[in-house]
Structure formats: structure tokens, C-alpha cells
Amino acid sequence: MICFLSGGTGTPKLLRGMKGLHDFAVVVNTAEDIWISGNKVCPDIDSVIYALADIIDDEKWWGIKNDTFMTHDMLNMLGFSEALRIGDKDRATHIFRTELLKTGHSLTSATRELRKCFGVQQEILPMCEEDVATKVITPEGEMHFQEFWVRRRGEPEVMDVVFRGIEKAEITEDVERVIKNSTAVVIGPSNPVTSIMPILSVKNVKNLLRKKTVIAVSPVIGSKPVSGPAGKLMRAKGYDISPSGVVDCYSGLLDAIVVHEGDNAGGVDVFRTDILMKNREDERRLASFILDVLGI
């Protein structure tokens, strides 16, 4: 079994490619979770579930394919603006999760119930049970990552990124078991700062990873991330925007990194292939390449 560390866009593509090729479990970032209109939204967990259930909107890489937005639009008409554009079907997931949490389920157990409902066989595990919130420090002050990225379209200058509550985050029994039982850990092509750093910052995760074979797939090609604000955030954290900068973000944990053809990185073994996933075939090809790298 392979253990993946995932955010909500790059890695889910790879997970879709890995489905059916090899057993895996996924530890998912929860530092972008947010309460919206009374419901707990876990953007990265939901994207992983929807990707593996084959219902993700893979144009936007969030939400459910062909969803409608009647409730969101009606709320807007009433003068209530939601921090994220929530689809009607997607909202049902958030309502169900919140009801499960209210009746005593942990986030781990609520996620298990949900992914089973969607017919997903792979274990999908939140990185921790505690609330952690990614905040972007800008000249205007501190803002939630969703405010920065969705409402403000990533425009404000970024001075720093912090994970509020991370010092209280404990590794769960399930995450510990999955990492210990895995033959290798793959850090997928996700935002190193907002998706992977929070997972690595949960108590004891780094210690466990040091005992495993760990490889990463770069979310950066050349000197640019494939998509999203990773570059701006890496720079704010003092990292080079390059595959080497990605290696540095993972502070001594990596045995190898998979980079794009023509790219390089220092300090670890480097494997080169086309790491851009434009379609299902690319996803499958990259997943097979990773199995080759791992000798599986």
C-alpha cells in the first residue's frame, strides 16, 4: 500500500490515475477547512472523494460535475454572500458531514462514512482532528486562505503564511497506522505551502516519514507552478520557485523527486518525465511512472 499526502487539485489528478493500478490511502490537508452557512466544508477532502468517485468537476477541480447553484444564488439574492461558491449537490455533502459531526462522529469517521457513500474504496484520512486554519499575512492584515484565494483572487501581497492551531494538532491513530503500513509515501503534486506543510507540521508526522521511502512529484515546472498561488506563497516563505525549492520545503524528508523533462533538483535522486496531467491518459501514465520509480 502506498500512502499519498494530498491537497485538492494536483494530487487528486494523480490519485485518479493510480486507481486500479495499486492499493493506496490518502492523508489529506484540512488546514483550508472552513464553516460556511452552518456547515463544515473540507475542500481538499471533498476534492479527493469526488475525484476518486469520478464525479469531480474536472474543469475547475472543485465541486461536483454539472452541479447547480440555486441555493447559493438565492442566498446572494437575499443579501447573504458565502465565502465559497457552493453547489447544491456539493452542499449535501457538507450538510451530511456536519450532521455526522453533531452526532458525535470524529472528522476521520465522518470522512469514512462519506467516502463509503460515494463508493470510494481507498482510505481517505484528514491529517488531524483539531481545527487548523491557514492564514495569509498581507499588508492589509491577516486573512483566511479562502478569503485570499477565492474572494481576493490571490491578489494581495503575501508577507507570510501561518497555520493557526497547528501546535495542537496530533497525529490520529489512522494516519499513524497508514504511514507505518505503507511501502512508500508519495507527496503528490500539491501546493507545498498550503497543502503539504500543514500535514508535515502535525506532531510526529515527520518522525514517521523519516523511517519511510518518501518521494515527491513536483507541482512546479521550470520556475512556475502548474496552477494556483504556490509560487507566490513559496516566495513569501523564502523558497525558490523551482523543483529544488520544493525539495527544500520538504526539509530533508525526501529520497527522490519526480520533475518535468529538462528540470533538475539538488540533494535527492531526480526522476524525469512529463509531469503535466492534462487528461486521464496523462494521469495514468504518471501514476505508472511512480510505481516504476518505487520498484512496485
Per CB under 6 A, residues contacting ligand GDP are: 6-11, 13, 44, 189-191, 194-195, 217-219, 225-228, 230, 275-277
Nearer to ligand GDP, 105 or 288 (CB): 288
Long-range Cβ contact pairs of 18-21 (< 8 A, separation 24 or more): 18/287, 18/290, 19/52, 19/122, 21/284, 21/287, 21/288, 21/291
Q: Tell me the closest approach of the beta carbon of residue 195 to ligand GDP, in angstroms.
A: 3
Q: Tell me the closest approach of the beta carbon of residue 243 to ligand GDP, in angstroms.
A: 10
* Residue 289, CB-side half-sphere exposure with 13 Å CA sphere: 23
Q: Tell me the closest approach of the beta carbon of residue 104 to ligand GDP, in angstroms.
A: 28
Q: Tell me the closest approach of the beta carbon of residue 65 to ligand GDP, in angstroms.
A: 17
Separation of alpha carbons 116 and 53, rounded Å: 10
Nearer to ligand GDP, 114 or 149 (CB): 149
Q: Tell me the closest approach of the beta carbon of residue 225 to ligand GDP, in angstroms.
A: 3
Q: What type of residue sits at position 286?
A: L
Nearer to ligand GDP, 189 or 245 (CB): 189
Phi, psi of 14 (to 5 degrees): -65, -35
* SS3 label, residue 28: strand
Number of H helices, E strands in the chain: 12, 14
Nearer to ligand GDP, 10 or 63 (CB): 10
Nearer to ligand GDP, 39 or 190 (CB): 190
Q: Which residue, 279, 257, 280, is CA-closest to 268? A: 257
